[in-house]
Each structure stands twice: as structure tokens, then as C-alpha cells.
Amino acid sequence: MSVMKKAEEITASGAREYLTFRLDQEEYGIDILKVQEIRGYEPPTRIANAPEFIKGVVNLRGTIVPIVDMRIRFNCAQADYNTFTVVIILNLHQRVVGIVVDSVSDVMELASGSVRAAPDIESAIDNSCIIGLGSVGERMLILLDIEKLMSSVEMGLVAVDE
């Protein structure tokens, strides 16, 4: 998908609300409609032979939910677990997934005009999972297509058909 086309999609759909969270020094935004709830971190049950960033599974009111640590996935320097560590529970395509982030900042409405296409840059994730860059005052938000990111093969959350 071309950069231009991505930008156009945003323009077409107008303003959107994003939940912003921090990973180390970077600030990210994801579509608020994909967020089910925000919880404190509790130690999950480890799953053997899973990638390092999959911390395991937790019990969310009777549902078994896998927990992905985004800090490990995005190669952050530190990934501590303390009382401020939060888990964002996402509801994607009938699947429930939790992501661990350093902190949740706020919910922001971004008009289509303030979202710019992301330049082709080297990063820990596939570029197509980045919708664009949003600027709010002096801050820069990296807007993620969280659904696409979570369902990508390298996340290891879905079984790969052999």
C-alpha cells in the first residue's frame, strides 16, 4: 500500500479518537474502538516455547487471554513490571488480546489534517502496521494499526497454516 493511499484513507474517514500510551520515550496511539479495557499488570501463566514477548495467558473474567509485552516486541531498553505497568485489553476480530505498555496517557481526537504519512523508516515492526504520524502540539504520536500488527504472523498469536 502506498504512503499516499494510507494518508487518503485517513482523510476519508475524518477525525478519529486514539488511545495513547508510552513505550519507553516513544508515544503511540491506537484506535480507541479496539480497546476493551485497561487493567493493572498481573503475572501471567507462562507458555512454553512461545516468543519472548508473549508473556503468557491470564484469566480475564473466565476468558483465557494472551498477554503481549509491547516493550519487548519493540525492543525497548527496559521492561520492568511495577504497580504502574498497565495492560490494555484489545478486542480484535472476536479475539481478546492484552498488551503491556509502560503507561497510558490519554484519549485524543486527531483531525485527519494532523495525521501525516509515516516516512519509510527502519523499525522493529513492519511499516505497513503504522498508519501515520500524528502531531499534537509539540508531541509526536505514532499511530499503529493494532489489528494488523496483532494478526501478523511474526506476533505468533495466530496459528500459521502449514
Partner 1 sequence: MAETYQEGSGSGADFDLSQFYQIFFEEAGENLDQMEQMLLNLDLASANDEELNGIFRCAHSIKGGSATFGFADVAELTHQMESLLDRLRRHELQPIPQMVDVLLESADASRSLLARHQAGEQGEAISTTDLVLRISELVAGRVPGGAAPAPLAQAPAPVVAAAAPAPAFAPALTVSAGQPRQLQIQIGPLERPEQADAIKELFRDIPGLGSISDLPTSDPATRRFAVETTSTNDDLLDLFAFHVAKEQVSISDGLTAGVSLSAAAPQAGQGGDAAGLSYGFFHDAPGAPGAPGAPTEAAAVPVAAVSAAAGAKAPVPKAAAEPRAQSPAQMESTTIRVAVNKVDQLINLVGELVITQAMLAQNSRGLDAGAYQQLLAGLADLDRNTRDLQESVMSIRMIPMSIVFSRFPRMLRDLANKLGKKVDFVTLGEATELDKGLVEKITDPLTHLVRNSCDHGIEMPAERLAKGKPEHGTITLSASHQGGSIVIEVRDDGKGLSREKILRKALERGLDVSEHMSDADVWQLIFAPGFSTAEVVTDVSGRGVGLDVVKRNIAALNGSVEIDSAEGYGMRVSVRLPLTLAIMDGMSVGVGDEVYILPLSSVVESFQVNAEDVSTVAQGSQLVKVRDEYMPVIALEKIFQVPRLDPSKSSSIMVVVEADGSRVALLVDELLGQHQVVVKNLESNYRKVPNVSGATILGDGTVALILDTGGLVRRARH
For every residue of 95-125, which 3-state class applies, written as one string?
A: EEEEEEECEEEEEEEECHHHEECCCCCCCCC
Residue 93 binds partner 1 (CB under 8 A): no
Cα–Cα distance, 106 to 103 (Å, whole number): 10
Residue 45 binds partner 1 (CB under 8 A): yes
- Cβ–Cβ under 8 Å, residues 122 and 138: no
- Cβ–Cβ under 8 Å, residues 31 and 115: no
Residue 12 binds partner 1 (CB under 8 A): no
Stretch in the footprint of partner 1 (CB under 8 A) among 47-55, 111-119, 123-131, 133-141: 47-55
Sheet holding 63-69, edge to edge: 35-40, 86-92, 95-101, 63-69, 54-60
Residue 48 binds partner 1 (CB under 8 A): yes
Cα–Cα distance, 39 to 84 (Å, whole number): 10
Residue 64 binds partner 1 (CB under 8 A): yes
Residue 77 binds partner 1 (CB under 8 A): no
Residue 58 binds partner 1 (CB under 8 A): yes
**Residue 134: CB minimum distance to partner 1, A:** 29
Please identify which residue in 2, 13, 49, 83 interacts with partner 1, judged by CB under 8 A.
Answer: 49
**Residue 100: CB minimum distance to partner 1, A:** 15
Please identify which residue in 22, 95, 116, 148 interacts with partner 1, judged by CB under 8 A.
Answer: 95
- Cβ–Cβ under 8 Å, residues 108 and 61: no
Please identify which residue in 62, 83, 153, 161 interacts with partner 1, judged by CB under 8 A.
Answer: 62
